[in-house]
Amino acid sequence: MTITCFKHMGCFFFFVMVQRVQSHLLLTRVFLSNLKDNQVTLSGETFTISSSIIVDATGIPNVRERWFKAQNLDHNYYEPYLKPRYRNERKRFFPFSHLLDTYSPMMKIIMKYFTCEGRFSKLYPYHIRFLMHFTRVRMLNIPYYLFRGIEKMAHTIYGKKNDQKMDNLFHRFVIKIIVLHHLNQLNISWDNFVANNIFSTSQPPHAKDMPSSSHPADHHTEDIHPPSQPTTSIPPSS
């Protein structure tokens, strides 16, 4: 039932791509460290980040409300998703266990594919906002949210040197999917792209001091081509 819901909301193509594409921490670091005015040049190729680019790369519809973390969310929206004994508590965040069990599987997918913080113990307003979208209560422009999240990360790590934030980067899958989408349009393979040593020569001066990732996925060089994008649609909001 949960997967069917995501299919109806135009996100299943994105799920397929995330499962096929391994995240790349070093690519994420270099991409964000060099991002300026929503553009970054790596290995002679200029990549642009925008809501529209994310739509093209992921297939997620670019529709409905543009909302991001800094915007308020009325607590009344929380109540239908919380267990009865917690509905009167007015908190900015709360334990995952307060969520109704019926929404737990959907929330775990939201955390894994969209918010990507790497923690599953607490829920924040943006988690509820995603839940509202996928339960068709109040639709969210997901490409815009992802775009703003990447912008915010780039701003946060700008000028950092060996900072802990450099190892706590979100949306690694989205960034690699954007890069692969651009390379596929130019008929450039991932192997040829990384062969140009982008992770040392294209980095800003402080980046050479960053520790290399020991995760196997960060050294993956398989040429990955995304599946053909299916026709996606989004139902009218109720």
pLDDT digits (tens, 9 = 90+) for 34-49: 999 999 999 889 999 9
Supply the range of the domain harboring residue 81. 64-140
Same domain, 223 and 125: no
Same domain, 152 and 221: yes
Task: Report yes or no on 49 lying in a domain.
Answer: yes
Residue 163 has pLDDT above 60, yes or no: no
pLDDT band at 209 (very low <50, low <70, confident <90, very high): very low
Task: Report yes or no on 235 lying in a domain.
Answer: no
Task: Report yes or no on 202 lying in a domain.
Answer: yes
Rg of the chain on CA atoms, in Å? 19
Query: Quick one: pLDDT at residue 75?
Result: 87
Phi, psi angles (nearest 5°) of residue 108: -65, -35
Same domain, 29 and 80: no
Q: Could you give the angle at the alpha carbon of 106 between the alpha carbons of 102 and 108, nearest 5°?
A: 110
Same domain, 36 and 70: no
Compare 191 and 51 and report the one with higher pLDDT: 51
Most confident of 8-17, 154-163, 174-183: 174-183
Same domain, 174 and 206: yes
Query: Quick one: pLDDT at residue 10?
Result: 82
Same domain, 135 and 157: no
Left, alpha or beta for 10 (phi > 0: left; psi -120 to 50: alpha)?
left
How far CA 153 is from CA of 105, 150, 168, 232, in Å, comes to 27, 5, 10, 29
The mean pLDDT of 114-136, rounded to a whole number, is 91
Number of structural domains in the chain: 2
Residue 147 has pLDDT above 80, yes or no: yes
Q: Of 140, 159, 182, which residue sits at a domain end?
A: 140
Nearest to 180 by CA among 57, 46, 59, 51: 57
Residue 168: its H or E element: none
